[in-house]
Structure 1
Amino acid sequence: MYTGKLISSDDHIFEPRDLWTSRAPRAQWADMPHVVQEPDGDWWVWKGHKMLSFGPGTQPGRRFENRDHVKLVDREERLLPGGYDPQQRIKDMEIEQMEAGIMYTTVAIALYHFASSDELTALLRPYNDWLADFCAVSPKKLRGICLLNSDDVPSAVKEMERCKKLGHVGALIATWPDDAHRFFRPEYDALWGAAQDLQMPLHMHLGGNRPGAGNELQTLKILTPAFRTNFDYWVRMSLADMTYAGVFERFPKLMVGSVEQEMAWIPHFLERMDFAYTQRSPNKGDYRFNEKMLPSDYFHRNCFASFQQDAIGIRLRDLIGVQCLLWGSDYPHIESTFPRSRQILGEILAGCTDEEKHAIVYGNAKRIYGL
């Protein structure tokens, strides 16, 4: 069992049912995300879209007991209180002696799949306000990641500046935008520059694709085993777009993270990027680095990956870069390591040195988020 200090770089809240309706006039409630009861369970609904049921927040640890009883659809009344009550969250953190947790959305990220750009901007702001209030109960333990509409760069920059003042320690952008908004485009430089200047790491979280990207989670039917196995495809495309466009050369202190997409894929990804850059003839207009660095060098300097339970990735840590690895429990979701995080970490980190263990589960997060 791991007994050292812990920071979870990927925890989640579960949005309360009145997050949006309480911040809008009653006449607009039907246009806000809200909860409805269905025969199979309770659902978050927005403009006819069933975004998410409550299963992801009702059963952490159940997979250790009986995986056959794990379900995506459930009732709101069964939510783990620590998902929405900051005082209860702190109590649950104390169970695992967690020093701090980085808080992500559960429901609001689904809006990335459905909302237009203007709608997304309007709906993310109240979420960011609520999360700031949640974290303010214990600002040293609860650290928020705000949500940005990266389609609209000027709006995203303004919202990131506002959220920095609210106390958020980083921002989430689309994991994969549609083809019209890919991250190699020069208009994103204002966003990259603002994130660098504000010291706000940017994050691409599992499930954060925009409409038309090819894998928006519009129904639970898409969550096949094959689909779940290949989630990391989209973050690889976005990171490659940024790297080959020279983003990390122009913004050397920008930090960008892959979250909840594990990490064993990274060594092959880095080798392929280096090979494509050095061994393939560049197309006309392709960016060439001014510095004598390879794509993998920029990853090792500017990128990080948050994982939960990737034993193979740990075995490949020298190729990934120990300084790039962060652990997260994914509380209170179905696949969370809670309440067995220390036991699981003791097993998968058994071959690491004490210095490596400290960096992966504590030191790297403390450095990247300035805790």
Structure 2
Amino acid sequence: MTSRCAGRRSSIIPDPMREEMPVLPLILSSDSHVFEPPDLWQKRIDAAFRDRAPRIQRIDDADQIVVEADQVLSGIGLISNAGARFEAPETISADGRFEDVLRGGYDPRQHLEDMALDGVAGEVLYPSQGLFYFRLADSQLMSAIFRAYNDWLAEFCRTDPARLKGIAMINLDDVRDGVGELERAARLGLSGAMITEYPLEHRRYDQSEYEPFWAAAAALGLPISLHTATRRQGKIRGAGEKTLRDASSRSTKAFYPALSMCDMIFSGVFERHPRLTLAIVEFELAWVPHVLSSMDYTYRERHGEAIYRFKDGMVPSDFFHRNVVLSFQEDAVGVRLRDLIGVDNMMWGSDYPHSESTFPESQRILAEILAGVPAEEQAKIAGGNTARVYGFDVGKAGRS
């Protein structure tokens, strides 16, 4: 594969003459991404699905993610254009070409070099194109796509398992199949699993059918993630080529994972599975205090609605603080609210190599966000909580 990214990267390398930044603690990204090679699914998917497998197809001089015969899911510009926000933010759009994707997205050794450039010691890795496959109507095709991806990601992370922690993709349309793939992901050495941020309305996460999956995740010690852009149904933003709803939906995107989290808490999932960890990823922080307050109020004052009653005097916010973590990028307001959210519940992430990523300015941006935060709390937010949740060996991750 050829790439023009090497030339582009040289123009966004942090300026060594910039004013010296404060020394930060060990930095681990709880939300980074790979960029799947265009031929991944043609090579790896089960033979029965090969003619319907995802691919990148050039349409009107831009590369599009296409699946089945002609289902166009997305352009690649927003999931591949790291650095553009610092150079020319007005150029950011869904349009993009694979030649301009940073090689570190699909080459693990280059990925490690980019981490070193960005001052990041370890990363938790999510898909890029794969985010959009939760939209597929065909459940069996989606599961086949996820299996092929999980195999490839496990190989990617084996390049340096101390610093690269992969998150498996899991389809829960069939819960028994989802449990099997979760168990296989654990055998592959992956460090967590992602499920749709919001399932079909009649199958929300308060349903008892998910109990075997929650139990398996807790027993395996694998955190479960709700990542942005993974709603199970339909087009997420807008109704046409360009609409004001795009901006409205992006500005309120925390609504759906908040619903999923509340469904799990109010139905007692975390009371029954106290070792289960839920990571809410790339939805920032500041929305949380109001939701926590509203959950506790509803539990106390609306017994006819909050019909599941917890033991030992617990309230909904207690389960949030014990079982839920949040991955954020640049929410300075959320950091100011950390006493309400919980310092132990907050994990920073770079979103490499996407257009809104902090790469290659992560150290500077994180230092600005954490300015004035006590050193012990900085250490937890910048990397300590991520190390705890995903099992990073801080000593090994800190050695490049």
Q: TM-score, normalized by length of structure 1?
A: 0.95
Look up the match of 1:17.
Answer: 38
Q: CA separation in 2, counterparts of 1:58 and 1:165?
A: 30
Look up the match of 2:170.
Answer: 148
Mapped contact 2:134–2:233 kept (Cα < 8 A): yes
Q: 1:316 to 1:129 in 2, by over 3 A?
A: same
**Which residue of 276, 293, 299 corresponds with 2:314?**
293
The worse-fitting range, judged by mean Cα deviation, of 119-128 and 26-35 is 26-35
What residue identity is the alignment partner of 1:78?
D
**Which residue of 287, 312, 315 corresponds with 2:336?**
315
1:1-371 map, 5 Å = 1=21, 2-24=23-45, 29-47=50-68, 48-211=70-233, 215=236, 221=242, 224-283=246-305, 286-371=307-392
What residue identity is the alignment partner of 1:85?
D
Mapped contact 1:7–1:328 kept (Cα < 8 A): yes
Deviation digits for residues 22-44 of structure 1, max 9, x if unmatched? 12588854311012111140111
State percent identity of aligned pairs: 41
Q: 1:351 to 1:257 in 2, by over 3 A?
A: same
Secondary structure at the residue paired with 2:263? helix
Look up the match of 2:17.
Answer: none
Q: CA separation in 1, counterparts of 2:45 and 2:205?
A: 33
Q: CA deviation at 1:59?
A: 2.2
Q: CA separation in 1, counterparts of 2:188 and 2:35?
A: 20
Q: CA separation in 1, counterparts of 2:334 and 2:44?
A: 43
Q: CA deviation at 1:259?
A: 0.1
Q: 1:225 to 1:217 in 2, by over 3 A?
A: closer
Q: CA separation in 2, counterparts of 1:242 and 1:27?
A: 36
Q: TM-score, normalized by length of structure 2?
A: 0.88
Q: CA separation in 1, counterparts of 2:173 and 2:314?
A: 30
Q: CA separation in 2, counterparts of 1:370 and 1:219?
A: 43
The worse-fitting range, judged by mean Cα deviation, of 44-53 and 290-299 is 44-53
The worse-fitting range, judged by mean Cα deviation, of 1-10 and 74-83 is 1-10
Mapped contact 2:214–2:273 kept (Cα < 8 A): yes
Q: CA separation in 2, counterparts of 1:52 and 1:63?
A: 20
Q: CA deviation at 1:218?
A: 8.9
Q: CA separation in 2, counterparts of 1:230 and 1:173?
A: 20
Secondary structure at the residue paired with 1:145? strand
Deviation digits for residues 86-129 of structure 1, max 9, x if unmatched? 01000000112221100000111211012322222121100000
Mapped contact 1:114–1:218 kept (Cα < 8 A): no
Q: CA deviation at 1:140?
A: 1.0
Q: 1:218 to 1:330 in 2, by over 3 A?
A: farther
CA RMSD of aligned residues (A): 1.8
Q: CA deviation at 1:6?
A: 0.6
Secondary structure at the residue paired with 2:309? coil
The worse-fitting range, judged by mean Cα deviation, of 36-45 and 259-268 is 36-45
Q: CA deviation at 1:57?
A: 4.2
Q: CA separation in 2, counterparts of 1:40 and 1:239?
A: 41
Secondary structure at the residue paired with 2:40? coil
Q: CA separation in 1, counterparts of 2:350 and 2:135?
A: 24
Secondary structure at the residue paired with 1:191? helix
Q: CA separation in 1, counterparts of 2:216 and 2:46?
A: 33
Q: CA separation in 2, counterparts of 1:303 and 1:210?
A: 21
Mapped contact 2:33–2:126 kept (Cα < 8 A): yes
Mapped contact 1:201–1:369 kept (Cα < 8 A): yes
List alignment gaps of at least 5 residues for structure 2: 1-20, 393-400
List alignment gaps of at least 5 residues for structure 1: none
Mapped contact 2:124–2:164 kept (Cα < 8 A): yes
Secondary structure at the residue paired with 1:20? helix
Q: CA deviation at 1:221?
A: 4.1
Secondary structure at the residue paired with 1:165? helix
Secondary structure at the residue paired with 1:128? helix
What residue identity is the alignment partner of 2:366?
L
The worse-fitting range, judged by mean Cα deviation, of 106-115 and 234-243 is 106-115
Mapped contact 1:50–1:219 kept (Cα < 8 A): no
